[in-house]
Structures are given as C-alpha cells and as structure tokens.
Amino acid sequence: MNITQSSKGDQLVSIKINVVKDDYEPKVNESLKKIQHTANMPGFRPGKVPFNMIKRLYGTSTKMEVLNDIVSESLNKHIFDNKLDLLGYPLSDLEQQKPADLEHEDDLEFCFEAALRPEVKIELEKIKMDAAKIVATDKDIDGTIDNIIERNPNIIHPETVGESDKLELKIAEAENGKEVEDGFKKGIYFHMDQVKEKKSKDLLLGKKVGEEFIFNFAKAMKSEDAAAKVLGEDAPADSDFNIIIDDITREEKPELNEELFEKIFPGKEVKDLDTFKSLVKEEMEKQYTAETDQYLFSKMIEKLIDEVKFDLPDAFLKRWIVENSQGKITTEEVEANYDNDYAKGLRWQIIEDAIVKENTDLVIQDDELHQFILKQIFPGIDYATLDDDMKGRLDGIAKNMMKNEEQVNQAKNQLADIKMTQFLKNKMKIKFKETSYEGFIESLKKGNETKKDAKGTKETKEVKETKKTNKK
C-alpha cells in the first residue's frame, strides 16, 4: 500500500491511496471462509458449500467491504500521523477518482480531497464595538420592591373571617339543617375570593374560629362544577353542609423593615431602606446582565465574523455540507443559503476553535460541568454550606442527569457559551452605554424593524444551529 499527498491549492490537499492485492486478499479470504462455515445452500450440507462457489457469490461484495475498512483506516492514520488539521472529513476526489472495477482489477487507487483549516489571526483587543448596559431606574426599583412586598406577605391567624381570608373547614353533608348520618365528611381549604353570592359572603364574614353553621357551596360559588372542584368529585356538590371553622389564615402587606430585609437578603444585615434599595438594584442589574449577555454574545459573534478575515474552500465545503447531511439538505438549498447561513456558521466555528486553542481555560472540564448542572437543577442553593449527606444526595442526582448524553451536550453548550461570552467581554474593546430596561427593549424593536427583510437576529440563530451541526 502506498499513500501520497499533494497540494491542490485553495487550502485543499489531494490524498491518494494505492492498494494492491496483497493488502486485502488475506482478509477477503478470511471473511469468505467465515461465510462458508455458516452458508446453507440446496444440495450441500450446512458449512460444506465449496469455497469457489462462495467466492463467486460473495467475492465482490466482500472485497468491497474489506477495501472500505482498509482505506478508511489508512486515511485516518495518514491524517493522524501527519497532524492534518482539517475542516470536516475528506471527500472522494471527483476530478481524479476513476471508476473501480472490483471484479476484475487487483490494484486499485482511491483519491480523496480534504480541506485544511485556515490559519486565523485574532487580535481581540483591537476589535471595537458598542453595547448596552442596562441600569435599574428608581421607577424599576420601586416596582420590584412592590412585587417583593406582594410575594412575601405576613401570615396571621385572626379570630374572625375577613374579605380575603383562607379558611380551614370541617364539612359534613346536611339535610334540613342537620348532619346526614353516614353522610359525606371531609376537611377542606376554602378561600373567600371563591364566594360569588353576596348573601353567602355576608354569612361567612365575621364568623369566629370554632363556629358551626349550615352552608351551601354550590349556591355560594354560583356553580356546582366549581363547588365539586373544592369539595371533591365524590361529594354531593349541590347539598347543604354543616361546617366548622378550624382555622383562619390572612395575608397582610409586610412593612419595609429589618424583618423583611433579612428575609430577602439573609445574612446581609440590612438595617435601612436605602441599603435595601441598593441591594435590590444590584440584583436587578445582575439579572439584566444575564439577559443582555445572550444578545451581546450574538452581536460579538457577528462582529468577529465580519472582522476576522480568512479564505474558505467554498466549493469543497458546499459538497461537504450536502454529503454530511445524509440526504436532508440539497445542493440547491446550500447554494441558496451558503453565504448568509452555512459560511457564517463555519467561520464562527473556526474562530471559536482558534480562541479555545489559545486559551485552554475555555475548555469545559468535567468538574465545572458537574457544578453547572447542579446549579441548573438546584438554583439558589449555596452548595458550600450543605452538609456531606445533602451534598452526596445532590451529587447523585447530578450524576444521574449526566448519564443522559443529550442533556449533557445541552448543558455543555450552554456553559461554553457563558464562558466564551465573559472571555470576549473581557478581551474585546467594548464601549458600554447605559440605558434603561425600557430603552433597551425599544432599541431591539427598532433594530428588528430595520432588519425585517434580512438577517440580524435570524442570522445569529442560524449561525448557532450550524455550529451545533458541525460539532457533532
């Protein structure tokens, strides 16, 4: 066997593999003998079919399988031994490959062409761009604090029923003002907001814990179906019930005091409203940054694709995309979308790979992936403060999740994007312009209107999809 490599120009190389009979014949005969041992043909005992007949029937197909294995193995070894940094995988060279007559030819030549990855010079420190930095306005902060107050009410247990209280009740089916012997009985929770009839609401208002009286839920709620959902499907929803109030729960608006501050920011020892507001502002802007970073990442990708210049072997790559799709993408589709879709995706992949190659801390390690998955499953938990038993339980859950290859790849891609975003933000010359959240959303709307017909955000999504396809 002889393998030669030569340049074809335009970042392409030609690889020729010459195979002679001695390279494959022993393996072909070995495979044919295995077939002979199991062959079952009329007129012959099992395993006793003459070898020449087996060779005549299966020789060509077996030769093809053996040659495929030998050529593939040799091609991979040549790529590895010569440290060829390729784009995609070699394709058959349509210009040089001659039709092979496997049945009659002993010495065969297989011709491939392969695309070399271009050398890329990236000077991130010289790339300039503008980006938005969202700051929380006083109005935004006050709105968030109002939401905090609404979501964190004080729970009290008053003695008498009020307009919006939640009641814990014992109910028993009743008829003519008396409990039905062996009738339906149950403990339920019931909210005053569910009462639609004024007379029923007036009956409940002011009642005390422990009071006992007759009540009709269907009448109070103006719906038997609604009553059945509260009482249970097996309850006689249209019946009267003798009810006893076991407990009354009421939510009260909390005061902006140290008790609330500690509940929202435990351990921060917040003593006054100004400090509380500053912490709310800080947390809001962290969330804004997390949201805008996704948009910024797409804009940084577009900027790098535009400014980092290198040539691509386009004709080869168009063929590679079609063949790699296994029939899912046509030549016509590639031609129509190559410049604004596939080429951009390939360019970003090359740029990203070059950055990671020079900055190995961007490579995802198993331990940090494990920690990232833990945070996804249990957001907000301070892992460092947990005891060993709880850590072991959480680690077990994360390890089970990491057995799912699809979920692991998804988490790995997310983490890679987060790390790359932060890296580019630190390296590129980005001028951040402060804006409000409303201002940022308005600018996005204007940008989308400007790019309705074309590309912008849509191209960015396609770049990411192409990147995922090429990584597989």
The pLDDT assigned to 233 comes to 87
Q: Mutual orientation of helices 405-427 and 273-307 as an angle, nearest 10°?
A: 90
Minimal CA–CA distance to 312: which of 147, 87, 23?
87
Grade residue 459 by pLDDT with cuts at 50, 70 and 90: very low
Q: List helix spans (H) across 83-164.
A: 138-151
Query: What's the full length of the chain, in residues?
Result: 472
- Alpha-carbon distance of 272 to 164, in angstroms, equals 31
The pLDDT assigned to 468 comes to 43
Grade residue 102 by pLDDT with cuts at 50, 70 and 90: confident
Each residue's pLDDT tens digit, 196-219 = 999 999 999 999 999 999 999 999
Grade residue 388 by pLDDT with cuts at 50, 70 and 90: confident
The three-state secondary structure class of 109 is: strand
The pLDDT assigned to 204 comes to 97
Average pLDDT over residues 178-182: 93
Tokens encoding 244 = 């006893």
Question: At 167, phi and psi to the nearest 5?
Answer: -115, 140
Instruction: Kindly list the distances between the CA atom of residue 12 and the CA atoms of 90, 288, 330, 354, in Å, as whole numbers in the listed order.
Output: 10, 46, 23, 19
Average pLDDT over residues 93-120: 91
Q: Mutual orientation of helices 388-401 and 366-377 as an angle, nearest 10°?
A: 100
Q: Is the pLDDT at 52 greater than 70, yes or no?
A: yes
Grade residue 103 by pLDDT with cuts at 50, 70 and 90: confident
Do residues 308 and 429 touch, judged by C-beta distance below 8 A? no
Each residue's pLDDT tens digit, 331-353 = 999 999 999 899 999 999 999 99
Q: Which residues contact 277 (CB under 8 A, 6 or more apart)?
A: 141, 145
The pLDDT assigned to 452 comes to 52
Average pLDDT over residues 447-461: 49
Computed over every residue of the chain, the mean pLDDT equals 90
HEC string of 10-74 equals: CCEEEEEEEECHHHHHHHHHHHHHHHHHHCCCCCCCCCCCCHHHHHHHHHHHHHHHHHHHHHHHH
- Alpha-carbon distance of 33 to 66, in angstroms, equals 14
Tokens encoding 273 = 């409203």
Q: Taking CA 249 as the corner, what is the angle to CA 246 and CA 251, rounded to the nearest 5 degrees?
A: 175
> What single string gives the DSSP state of each residue in 316-342?
HHHHHHHHHTTTSS-HHHHHHHIIIII
Domains and CATH numbers, the chain: 2-116 (3.30.70.1050), 124-136+276-471 (no CATH), 154-252 (3.10.50)
Do residues 437 and 288 touch, judged by C-beta distance below 8 A? yes
Q: Is the pLDDT at 466 greater than 50, yes or no?
A: no
The pLDDT assigned to 451 comes to 58
